Amino acid sequence: MTKTASGPLSGVKVLEFAALGPGPFAGTFLSDLGADVLRVERPGAPDPKPERFDARGRKTIELDLKRPEAVAECLRLAEHAELLFEGNRPGVMERLGLGPEVVLARNPRLVYGRMTGWGQYGPYAHAAGHDINYLALTGALHAIGTAEKPIAPLNLAADYGGGAMFLVSGMLAALLHARSTGEGQVVDVGMTDCAAYLVSLFYGMLAGGTWEDRREANLLDGAAPFYDTYRCADGRWIAIGSIEPQFYAMLLDMTGTKDRLAGAQMDKAEWPVRKQILRDVFAGRTRDEWCAIMEHSDVCFAPVLSLKEAPGHPHNVARGTFTQVAGATMPVPAPRFSATPGAVQWAPAPIERDKVTALAAWGVERG
């Protein structure tokens, strides 16, 4: 397979050790930005299916890292890479002979990314976990959901937002440092650390007395009548975010509730009553009817689209937000670059069974 990379990272070589969750997404993101990503998989791993969007755009080779010759091959690959990342529990790569100390000795300019849930040290460091657990430990999960219970926001906040995106941004920051100084380093991405960082605004509001440490009691957590989702007459939903006074005034005009919702917008004592009024109003029309009334206005409105609906929405179509690759609909790479646009380099490809060819493509001869 000939790679014709497009994107601002074209020419950057990345060695990825296969893992779960945010690791594969980080590899996809780097590939979409044009990097030459080579993934190392365990023996017997199946070829990725076309719908495995987080396996697209890179070559994969099979190496048994319990064998010394495979470890030696990885070290030679690392000599040709600028970025390397792995998602094992702390100590695993060291036991394999591929820890940062060994690898950086072979390539001092290398950026070595480490993706874990709890970080490389701490009381939880060696325990298993998932996004919901990492989010729970940061205070974020406590703040998300209904008054009755916390609700996990899929695995977007810790795995992908706090994991993959911080891994990529951290490694690219370290890459700038390595290119200017010749000094590589380790980037320790603990999803609890990064998810906590994402909640910085709310910790600031809590410290300032403008956020209550309970759910459905605050401006952005579903308590405010002007920042919530509402069920329509057809059972579908809309999202309202009319925070600013001028947008709130427009909301009252478009819903015909100016008389019933008169008074201070930020009076929390009135929020439950006002929300019920809006529930009743929105329930009186279908989602499409509310779209006809509110779309393209400054009321801060959007229909709540399903995963099947979203690709066909006119705004997403106009932006080209989704595309078809190997017969499957997937989001296109983001953000957009004016001079070096990213691209889906290719659909998920079978594992390269001919390791000699794959290694040679990186300039590595087998020992």
Give the residue numbers marked as catalytic. Answer: 130, 159
CA dist., res. 29 & res. 34, Å (int): 9
Look up tokens 């994969």; give the residue. 60
Closest by CA position to 80, among listed 113, 114, 107, 41:
107
Instruction: Cite the DSSP H helix spans in the chain.
Output: 22-32, 68-79, 92-96, 100-106, 131-138, 140-143, 165-181, 191-198, 200-207, 245-255, 271-282, 287-294, 314-319, 355-361
Backbone dihedral angles phi then psi of residue 156, each to the nearest 5 degrees: -80, -35
Q: CA-CA distances (angstroms) from residue 120 to 18, 91, 95, 156? A: 18, 8, 14, 22
Closest by CA position to 249, among listed 258, 237, 240, 239:
258
**Identity of the residue numbered 40:** V
- Give the dihedral sign, CA 32/33/38/42: negative
Which residues, including other chains, have CB under 8 Å from residue 33's CB and lie 6 or more apart? 7, 8, 9, 333, 342
> What residues does 330 pair with on adjacent strands?
323
**Dihedral, 294, 243, 132, 113 alpha carbons, nearest 10:** 100
CB-CB contact of 248 with 224 (8 Å) = no
CA dist., res. 89 & res. 91, Å (int): 6
CA dist., res. 287 & res. 295, Å (int): 11
